[in-house]
């Protein structure tokens, strides 16, 4: 679908950001492994989370959609064999976490996915799970994965790269393994799995970058899902760069392992106000007041910053184009393994708008500040939801309208995106 984006008026008013995608996946998975009945409220409408939900239905869990955002899950804590393949669609989180869960079952399963997912690396989970005793067949470390359920044993796993998906796959396998399983992270990545395991009563110990889990029974408990800071990021950036914007984004998850973008904004000399801080089902959340900033300055984003804002880097590149000076992003090589090669594709498309951006093996450099120019060429989304929305935000400050090819991919995480933009117009 070709989407036309016009220069935006100032954004004003108030919106509520829909549910966090990472937490929605985990809510379905962990409630399916828990004994009892629970209600998940404010569930994500993103297609990725519905891939997870449909898979757990296939695995015999009692899942009822009370309405689009309210899901009732009833389980005795056990999964059943699915006689058809499990389709994870476009979702890396579904695939990798599910592999950890399925590795220790007393049945075999097969996970498949779409073209983009089938190109993404799975060795990162196959390796540690195999160390735990898992038997997984792949096509050269890619999907389809055939998982032969085995008895697993705990391991101590020092992760070579920071990845919440790998960490979670190992911890979820550890729930069903003999002995203790410890994961040591090089840099702290999002900790939603650990927080939810704790919330549901698992035996989990968190000591800085070291997380240990033992075989435990989870007890079902209602879960309310906070809004997604990765979705809010498009609005935060839009608010900072569309002149005279001033609005509030309600109910945004601000878990410190996810809120790197808020630190970067401060580093760039802007300010967002964090209001009404609270904790919802074990996760911190708040309302965020965003105002236009006309004197953004460049910064360096590297090391420990990266896992805390990995999904926000494409829209941060757009923000950097409006900051004075050289914004450098390094140590982000894993961006090349996302829904697209997010370094190569981002750089190619932003150049079309006249953004002065260089590609590096592990990131990019943006030289600002640039007035964005119009282009006759459509910007390509490369089947990548976050690129599509980042380009939309760039289009909001272009002099003339631009068009984006493949905008329907926003359905993966944020079907409400454009509707919410209109609400602020
Ligand atoms: C996610 C972890 C991150 C992130 C992805 C969601 C998760 O991936 O990019 O969008 O929910 O655990 P990695 O674990 O590969 O860094």
On whether the CB atoms of residues 24 and 43 are closer than 8 A, the answer is yes
Question: What are 221-236's pLDDT values in tens digits?
Answer: 999 999 999 999 999 9
Measured in angstroms, how far is the CA atom of residue 164 from the centroid of ligand 1? 6
pLDDT digits (tens, 9 = 90+) for 73-118: 999 999 999 999 999 999 999 999 999 999 999 999 999 999 999 9
Assign residue 149 a region (left: φ > 0; alpha: ψ between -120 and 50; beta: otherwise). beta
pLDDT band for 376, please (50, 70, 90 cuts): confident
- Please tell me the predicted confidence (pLDDT) of residue 177: 97
d(CA 261, CA 264): 5
Atom of ligand 1 nearest to the CA of 230: 10
Residue 120 Cβ inside 6 Å of ligand 1? The answer reads no
The H-or-E segment that residue 230 falls in is: helix 229-241
Question: Which residue among 20, 23, 25, 92 has the greatest number of ligand 1 atoms within 8 angstroms of its CB, and so is best to mutate?
Answer: 92
Told to judge if 311 belongs to the known catalytic residues of this protein, a careful annotator would answer yes
The Å distance, Cα 388 to ligand 1 centre, comes to 18
How far is 195 from 115, CA to CA, in rounded Å? 32
Q: 44-66, pLDDT tens digit by residue?
A: 999 999 999 999 999 999 999 99
Task: Report residue 237 as tokens.
Answer: 């950036």
**Closest to 302 in 3D by CA, of 270, 328, 325, 324:** 328
List the CATH code of the domain at 21-224: 3.65.10.10
Domain borders along the chain are 2-18+226-424, 21-224
**pLDDT value, residue 117:** 98
Q: Which residue has the tokens 């209109």?
A: 422
Structure tokens at 147: 């998982």
pLDDT for position 182: 98
Asked whether the domain spanning 21-224 has the same topology as the one spanning 2-18+226-424, the reply is yes
- Per-residue pLDDT at 271: 86
Confidence grade of residue 207 (pLDDT, cut at 50, 70, 90): very high
Residue 70 confidence (pLDDT): 98
Q: What element of type H or E holds 108?
A: strand 108-112
Average pLDDT of the residues in 123-148: 98
Rg over CA atoms, the chain: 21
Q: Which whole-number Å values give the CA distances from 299 to 348, 356, 374, 380, in the listed order? A: 22, 15, 26, 27
- Check pocket membership of 309 for ligand 1, CB cut-off 6 A: no
Cα distance from N-terminal residue to C-terminal residue, the chain: 23
Q: What is the percentage of the chain residues whose pLDDT exceeds 70?
A: 100
Asked if the model's pLDDT at residue 216 lies above 90, the reply is no
Q: Is 56 helix (H, G, I), strand (E, B) or coil?
A: helix
* pLDDT tens sequence across 239-280: 999 999 999 999 999 999 999 999 999 999 998 999 999 999
Indicate if ligand 1 lies below 6 Å from the C-beta of 193.
Answer: no
Mean pLDDT on 327-337? 98
- Answer yes or no: is the C-beta of 95 below 6 A from any ligand 1 atom: no
To test the pocket of ligand 1, the residue of 19, 20, 21, 22 to mutate (highest count of ligand atoms within 8 Å of its CB) is 22
Q: Residue holding tokens 């966090």?
A: 20
Nearest ligand 1 atom to the CA of 162 is 16
Pair 327, 366: CB distance under 8 Å = yes
Q: Is 350 helix (H, G, I), strand (E, B) or coil?
A: helix
Q: For a substitution probing ligand 1, which of 24, 101, 121, 163 has the most ligand atoms within 8 Å of its CB? A: 163
Ligand 1, residue 311: give the atom nearest the CA: 9
Say what the pLDDT of residue 392 is. Answer: 98
Q: Which two tokens stand for residue 146?
A: 């055939």
Q: Which CATH class is domain 2-18+226-424?
A: alpha beta
Is the shortest distance between the CB of 165 and ligand 1 below 6 Å? yes
**Residue 366 in contact with residue 320, Cβ under 8 Å?**
yes
Q: Is residue 22 within 6 Å of ligand 1 at its C-beta?
A: yes
pLDDT of residue 250: 98
Determine the pLDDT at residue 375: 87
Residues 311, 341, 358, 384: which is the catalytic one?
311
How many angstroms from the chain centroid is the CA of residue 114? 18
Q: What is the mean pLDDT of the chain?
A: 98
Residue 108: φ, ψ to 5°: -100, 155
- Torsion from C-alpha of 225, 226, 227, 233, nearest 10 degrees: -130
């Amino acid at each position: 679908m070709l989407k036309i984006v016009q220069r935006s008026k100032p954004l004003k008013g108030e919106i509520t950001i829909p549910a966090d995608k990472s937490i929605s996946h985990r809510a379905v998975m962990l409630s399916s492994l828990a004994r009892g009945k629970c209600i998940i409220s404010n569930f994500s409408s993103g297609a990725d989370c519905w891939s997870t939900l449909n898979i757990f239905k296939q695995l015999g869990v009692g899942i009822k959609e009370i309405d689009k955002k309210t899901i009732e899950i009833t389980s005795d804590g056990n999964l059943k064999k699915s006689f058809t393949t499990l389709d994870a669609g476009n979702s890396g989180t579904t695939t990798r976490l599910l592999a950890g869960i399925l590795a220790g079952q007393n049945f075999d399963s097969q996970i498949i996915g779409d073209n983009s997912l089938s190109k993404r690396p799975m060795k990162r989970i196959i390796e540690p799970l195999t160390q735990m005793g898992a038997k997984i067949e792949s096509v050269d470390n890619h999907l389809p994965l055939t998982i032969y359920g085995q008895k697993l044993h705990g391991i101590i796993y020092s992760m070579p790269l920071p990845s919440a998906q790998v960490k979670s796959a190992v911890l979820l396998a550890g729930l069903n393994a003999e002995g203790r399983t410890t994961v040591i992270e090089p840099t702290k990545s999002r900790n939603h799995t650990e927080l939810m395991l704790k919330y549901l009563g698992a035996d989990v110990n968190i000591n800085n970058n070291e997380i240990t889990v033992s075989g435990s029974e989870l007890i079902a408990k209602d879960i309310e899902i906070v809004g997604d800071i990765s979705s809010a990021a498009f609005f935060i950036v839009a608010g900072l760069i569309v002149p005279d914007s001033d609005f509030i984004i309600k109910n945004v998850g601000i878990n410190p392992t996810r809120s790197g973008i808020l630190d970067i904004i401060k580093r760039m000399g802007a300010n967002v106000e964090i209001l009404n801080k609270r904790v919802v089902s074990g996760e911190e959340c708040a309302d965020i007041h965003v105002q236009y900033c006309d004197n953004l300055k460049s910064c360096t984003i590297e090391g420990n910053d990266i896992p805390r804002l990995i999904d926000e880097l494409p829209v941060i590149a757009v923000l950097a184009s409006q900051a004075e000076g050289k914004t450098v992003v390094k140590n982000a090589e894993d961006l090349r393994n996302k829904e697209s090669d997010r370094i190569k594709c981002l750089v190619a498309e932003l150049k079309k708008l006249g953004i002065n951006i260089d590609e590096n093996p592990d990131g990019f450099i943006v030289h600002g500040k640039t007035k964005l120019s119009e282009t006759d060429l459509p910007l390509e989304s490369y089947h990548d939801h976050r690129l599509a929305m980042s380009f939309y935000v760039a289009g909001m400050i272009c002099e003339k309208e631009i068009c984006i090819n493949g905008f329907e991919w926003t359905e993966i995480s944020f079907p409400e995106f454009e509707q919410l933009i209109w609400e602020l117009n």
